[in-house]
Amino acid sequence: SQQGEEDPQALSIQEGENATMNCSYKTSINNLQWYRQNSGRGLVHLILIRSNEREKHSGRLRVTLDTSKKSSSLLITASRAADTASYFCATGLQGGSEKLVFGKGTKLTVNP
Amino acid sequence: KAGVTQTPRYLIKTRGQQVTLSCSPISGHRSVSWYQQTPGQGLQFLFEYFSETQRNKGNFPGRFSGRQFSNSRSEMNVSTLELGDSALYLCASSLALGTYGYTFGSGTRLTVV
């Protein structure tokens, strides 16, 4: 079963706008990661935030983590057509395992 | 630096056959994991290997097996293929997952007919 649930399932915006995707999870985590996938290809790691961190930035990406609400958000600022992809959150669980539990993803379409 | 290499990229097999997929991790990465991606179930964890030892296994039947070699290359095998095994199989390697996350290969698209 999925640990993370992304919201919304699909998002369509215009180039230059910001895109916000949310992720909720169920159990305690070591870290939470966001990945991007272009059209049935491999996943690209975007950002990792540890359970003791609240916010992290990488270029146009901003991730927040609220462990009390078991939720995270990914903000992409000034979006580009090339950002069109599916975005997944994945939780690294406590207990020393390297296993990631993925949500079902948000399909983002950025219209030029 | 070379990425994670998965072979073959595409595969068509018949029900009842078996298949072996290969994954070469990034040089120096000792942790390799496999995931199955389908439209219905999304990304599901299959196995995790570190230094030739399976550390975790997902909730898949015994027809799914894997192994890791001393050079960290990994293979997964699916025996007695079923139509529902059609999926994108992704391999990922990590230097230290808790810090850096995974690097994924492009996947092997398996179609069972």
**Cβ A64 vs Cβ A50: under 8 Å:** no
Measure the CA–CA gap between B2 and A98, rounded to whole angstroms. 22
Contact A101 B88 (CB under 8 A): no
Instruction: Give the pLDDT confidence score for residue A96 in this predicted structure.
Output: 63
Instruction: Give the pLDDT confidence score for residue B2 in this predicted structure.
Output: 76
**What chain A residue is nearest to B4 in terms of C-alpha separation?**
A42
DSSP 3-state of A69 = coil
Torsion of CA A108, A72, A27, B62, to 10 degrees: 30
Spell out which residues of chain A touch residue B104, defining contact as CB-CB under 8 Å: 35, 42-45
Low-confidence ranges of chain A (pLDDT < 70): 1-4, 94-97
Q: Which residues contact A68 (CB under 8 A, 6 or more apart)?
A: none
Q: What is the mean pLDDT of each successive set of 10 residues along chain B, which is 113 residues long? A: 91 98 94 93 92 90 96 96 97 76 94 98
A77: exposed, middle or buried (Cβ count in 10 Å: 0-12, 13-18, 19+): middle
Spell out which residues of chain B touch residue A33, defining contact as CB-CB under 8 Å: 101-102
DSSP 3-state of B84 = helix
Nearest by CB: B106 against A42, A98, A101: A42
Instruction: Give the pLDDT confidence score for residue B97 in this predicted structure.
Output: 55
> Which tokens hold the place of A70?
């078991």
B26 closest CA partner among B60, B57, B50, B3: B3
Instruction: Give the pLDDT confidence score for residue B83 in this predicted structure.
Output: 97
Measure the CA–CA gap between A83 and A103, rounded to whole angstroms. 19
Instruction: Give the pLDDT confidence score for residue B95 in this predicted structure.
Output: 79
Interface size, chain A vs chain B, as Cβ–Cβ contacts under 8 Å? 64
Measure the CA–CA gap between A90 and B96, rounded to whole angstroms. 16
Instruction: Give the pLDDT confidence score for residue A7 in this predicted structure.
Output: 85
